[in-house]
Amino acid sequence: MMEVCGSGIVNLREFGCEQSLLSRPDGSASFIQGDTSVLAGVYGPAEVKVSKEIYDRATLEVLIQPKVGLPGVKERSQEQSVRETCEASLLLSLHPRSSLTLVLQVLHDDGSLLSCCLNAACMALMDAGLPMSCLFCGVTCAIDTAGQIITDPTATQEKESRALMTFAIDSTEHRVMMSSTKGSFSVHELQQCIAVSQKASEKIFQFYRDSVRRRYSKTL
C-alpha cells in the first residue's frame, strides 16, 4: 500500500465569498478559492417555458460560461454534475411548474474549478432563498505522483497529479452527493480522498455559516 498523506495535515487555499453582489438576479454570489473564482447568479422560481415545464417540480437549468469562447463539451459535463447536485439538495417539488436558472461564470481558473463552481452555486441558491433540504460543498483532491493527497489543488498541481477527484458533500450527514474523477487510483485511495474531503467540507460549511451570519449581522 502506498503511503498517502504522511504529514497528517492538508491545506485548503484561502477562500472568500461575496453574496448579493449583482442587482438583477434573485440571488448571486462569487466564490474564490486561491485564484480560482466563479460568479454565480440565480433566477427563480420564475416563469417556465411550456416545453420545459414539469408538472410536479421546478425545472432547474444550470449554465456554465467559460471565460473564452463558447461553452463546449467540458462545460456541459460540468453543468450536469452541478445540476444533479443542486437537484439533490433543492426541494424542487415546492415550486412546481416554474423554472430555476443557475448561471455560473468562470472568472479565473486556477485549479479545482468544479468544486469552486459547486460552492458558488450553493451560496447563490442560499442567497436566492430557495428551499433546500441541506447545503452542499465541493472539494477537489489530487493525488500526486508520490501518492500524496493534495486538497484544493492549483492548476499546476492538477497537471502534475496522477488522479483528480471532485466530490460534492452534503452538510447534514457529510455524505458524497456527486463525484467526478479523472485518472487512476486504488479503492483505498478513493476512500481516503473521500474521508479527507469530508473533513475539509466541515471547514467550508463553517465558512458558509460565518459569511451568512456576517451578512445578517445588521438585522439581528
Partner 1 sequence: MVSGLKEKVGEVLLPGDEFCFEAEDTISLTEQVKPEKVVCGPGLRRSGDRLLVCKSGVLRHKQPNTFWIDSQQRRYVPVKGESVVGIVTAKSGDVFKVDFGGSEQASLSYLAFEGATKRNRPNVQVGDLVFAQFLIANKDMEPELVCIDGSGRANGMGVLAGGGLLFRVSLGLVRRLLAPHSKIESDLKQLFPCELVVGMNGRVWVHSCSVQQTLIIANLLQSCDTMTAAQRRELFRRVQQGVL
Partner 2 sequence: MKDTPLSNCERDFLLKAIEEKKRLDGRQTYDYRKLKITFGTDYGCCFVDLGKTRVMAQVSCELVAPKENRPNEGIMFFNIELSPMASPAFEQSRQSELSVKLNRQLERCLRNSKCIDTESLCVASGEKVWQIRTDVHVLNHDGNLMDAASIAAITALRHFRRPDVSIQGDEVTVYSPEERDPIPLSIYHMPITVSFSFFQQGTYLLVDPSEQEERVMDGLLIIAMNKHREICSIQSSGGIMLLKEQVMRCSKIASVKVSEITDLIEKALENDKTARKAGGRCGYAESITQERITALKMDETPVEVTDVKETASDIIQKAEPSPHKVPSLVVPVPGVGQVGQGLKNTWGLEEEDDDDEEEEEEEDTNDNGSAEQEEDLTVMEEEPHKTGESREANVVELSDSEEEEVIILHPETPDRTPKNTGSTSHQKGAAKSKKRQKK
**Does 125 contact partner 2 by CB under 8 A?**
no
- C-alpha 208/C-alpha 83 separation (Å) is 20
Find which of partner 2, partner 1, none residue 200 binds, CB within 5 to 8 Å per kind: partner 2
| Shortest reach from residue 60's CB to partner 2, in Å | 13
| Shortest reach from residue 65's CB to partner 2, in Å | 6
- Inter-CA distances, 192 with 4, 12, 48, Å: 8, 16, 42
Find which of partner 1, partner 2, none residue 176 binds, CB within 5 to 8 Å per kind: none
**Does 172 contact partner 2 by CB under 8 A?**
no
**Does 96 contact partner 1 by CB under 8 A?**
yes
Minimal CA–CA distance to 107: which of 197, 13, 29?
Answer: 29
Determine the distance from the C-alpha atom of residue 77 to the mean position of all C-alpha atoms in its chain, rounded to a whole number.
14
**Does 91 contact partner 1 by CB under 8 A?**
yes
Specify the amino acid at residue 42. Answer: V
**Does 195 contact partner 1 by CB under 8 A?**
no
**Does 185 contact partner 2 by CB under 8 A?**
no
Q: What is the DSSP string of 99-111?
A: EEEEEEEEEE-SS
Q: Of 17, 26, 137, 169, which lies in the binding site for partner 1, with binding defined by CB under 8 A?
A: 26
Minimal CA–CA distance to 41: which of 23, 67, 59?
Answer: 23
Q: Of 2, 43, 130, 136, which lies in the binding site for partner 2, with binding defined by CB under 8 A?
A: 43
Instruction: Kindly report the number of other CB atoms within 10 A of residue 125's CB atom.
Output: 25
Region near partner 1 per CB under 8 A, out of 4-12, 105-113, 156-164, 165-173: 165-173
| Intra-chain end-to-end CA distance of the chain, in Å | 53
- C-alpha 183/C-alpha 78 separation (Å) is 17
- C-alpha 40/C-alpha 29 separation (Å) is 5
- Between residues 25 and 153, which has the closer beta carbon with respect to partner 1? 25
**Does 54 contact partner 2 by CB under 8 A?**
no
**Does 64 contact partner 2 by CB under 8 A?**
no
Residues that bind partner 1 (CB under 8 A): 20, 26-27, 43-48, 89, 91, 94-99, 126-135, 170-172, 208-209, 212-213, 215-216, 218-220
